[in-house]
Structure 1
């Protein structure tokens, strides 16, 4: 990517792809997701970084690229395509309910439909259908206070601080494992760091623990009562 417009084109492509699959998001949300995929906090930060790259001296850019290519500084893992869609799905759940914020409960519900994350949960003995029902009931009944007031602009749901912390920790986990991409499996391991959240409590209620998740993702150990899908 060498132009500010390239990032916008990527956002438009993601938004169009999701629309083709009946998942509607706003332009602002697609821009924010692309920013997260590049490992920055928000779209404005990414836009500024891209502008800086375009105007930087050519020798400086070449030196930076050579350093990375030489293996001196490892590349930061990027979100996999599937995980990007999962994050968009979580935002979509919040938008569909006109929620001002996208919480860990929206995220975990989206992860139950993510191939990598759901594989981890099944390996740890989680009943996905029961978990989905529990999360949906909680989101519909307990998060009514997040509904945007009349007259406000819907469709602009933003991730909570806990949601963003989990995203950052997933990146660190993938990097520690030497992965080039961050997947739903990484998210499932690190979501347990938010142990007081209703989302994590629902995993605990199904006897899934952080250790169970880490054992499967990091060591390939299936919990005795679990089943790992191919």
Structure 2
């Protein structure tokens, strides 16, 4: 039987089979489809798993306890928490409020159940994901509008066996999952921590003085959960990480998600980057700056769609940006030596764009992602030029969230 290490061969077989039926798909799309067959978000993640499996020592399988226990339950629809994290939760559904009151009265923990669809107001067992969590209640605060704010500390994963919503309070029957704590993967942990520190720098996440907070005995599962709790992802992708019970595989997936260099660029964005470099090279500028990049993005269909959604004139923005590049950047001209090297800001924006594509679930990095990644560079003339034409981070982010500028692999 084939497993995930046969993914490339399976992708080619799929492509050939569809070809015989006059259905043509790209090689990258066939890889993405096979990745989803294995329950993995995308090809980059599956590729990392394949590489990580070469010569890797197999980790012990997590044990799902046969015994079950019954606890008050809190169904969540807009958050996927991870073990070890502390969260404030705001609850208003009557059965959830009653479940919290029961838990405090009984001095017991609660089950966090994760909804498949946010729109469901009264979830039943079929509306919930299989993997949930146990959580300790730290503090309960009634709010003036009748809702509750509760501080919870997330504990271990559980398998939800049954869920009751017939009475006055939600309740769940669960089995604990025991992860083996003896697995050792120091090289993988070091790579994941190093990549997360780079991710935090790109995303302006301030790490605590106690970082990394793993203690002496670093376990892959603990490291994976600590990092996953801070990585921005669509909720569905967050749950995919939570549901990976093997701690080493979970950390491999987390590490792959943090690898900004592996995220594929759309063919249009590849051409746009080359065009930005050419703008600098043609003027013999030492660096390709964000202004060269903005000039190229104006002619990128994906980025242009976002700019137009902000009601800006592409023609006027192009004219003003071109004038800036030709006059204000004249001092970058070099008589000899290397020219058109991407500036540090150019590279930061490229990394940030790859993460932005991942966070909104785009299969490839697009010009829209690159445009959105410019705004944190608040001191750059490129950001100022965009603002002068009404292209703001809030407007651009809304356009990207609405799917404007999205391209297929």
**TM-score of the two chains, using structure 1 as the length reference:** 0.63
- Show the counterpart of 1:98: 284
- 1:89 is the counterpart of 2:275: yes
Between the aligned partners of 2:340 and 2:278, the Cα distance in structure 1 is 9
Q: Which has the larger radius of gyration?
A: 2
Q: Distance in 1 between matches of 2:312 and 2:373?
A: 17
User: Which structure has greater helix proportion?
Assistant: 1
* Partners of 1:57 and 1:192 in 2: CA distance: 39
Equivalent of 1:153, from 316, 334, 337?
337
Match of 2:266 among 65, 80, 96: 80
Counterpart for residue 143 of structure 1: 329
Secondary structure class of the residue paired with 2:55: helix
Who is 1:179 aligned against? 362
Is this contact kept in 2: 1:79–1:182, CA < 8 A?
A: yes
Matches within 5 A, 1:110-121: 110-121=296-307
- Deviating beyond 6 angstroms after TM superposition, the runs of 4 or more aligned structure 1 residues are none
| Alignment partner of 1:109 is 2:295 | yes
Deviation for aligned residue 1:176 = 0.9
- Change in 2 beyond 3 A, CA 1:58/1:107: same
Gaps of 5+ in 2: 1-43, 45-50, 57-187, 189-243, 405-409
357, 369, 373: which one pairs with 1:190?
Answer: 373
Q: CA deviation at 1:167?
A: 0.6
Quick check: 1:59 aligned with 2:55?
yes
Is 71-80 or 111-120 further displaced after alignment? 71-80
How many angstroms apart in 1 are the aligned matches of 2:266 and 2:390?
A: 28
| Secondary structure in 2 matching 1:180 | coil
1:216 aligns with 2:399: yes
Q: How many residues align?
A: 161
Per-residue Cα deviation, 1:117-156 (whole angstroms, up to 9, x for no partner): 001000111101111110111111111110012xx136x3
Tell me which residue corresponds to 1:124: 310
CA distance in 2, matches of 1:199, 1:163: 11
Residue of structure 2 equivalent to 1:45: none
Question: Per-residue displacement from partner, 1:3-23 (whole Å, max 9, x unpaired)?
Answer: xxxxxxxxxxxxxxxxxxxxx
Cα 1:135–1:58 change in 2 (3 A) is: same
CA RMSD of aligned residues (A): 3.0
In 1: Cα distance, 2:341 partner to 2:380 partner: 17
Aligned twin of 1:28: none
Q: CA deviation at 1:58?
A: 5.4
Question: Counterparts of 2:353 and 2:264 in 1: how far apart (Å)?
Answer: 10
**CA pair 97-219 structure 1, distance change in 2 beyond 3 A:** same
Gap runs ≥5 in structure 1: 1-38, 40-52, 65-69, 222-230
Distance of 1:216 and 1:190 partners within structure 2: 13
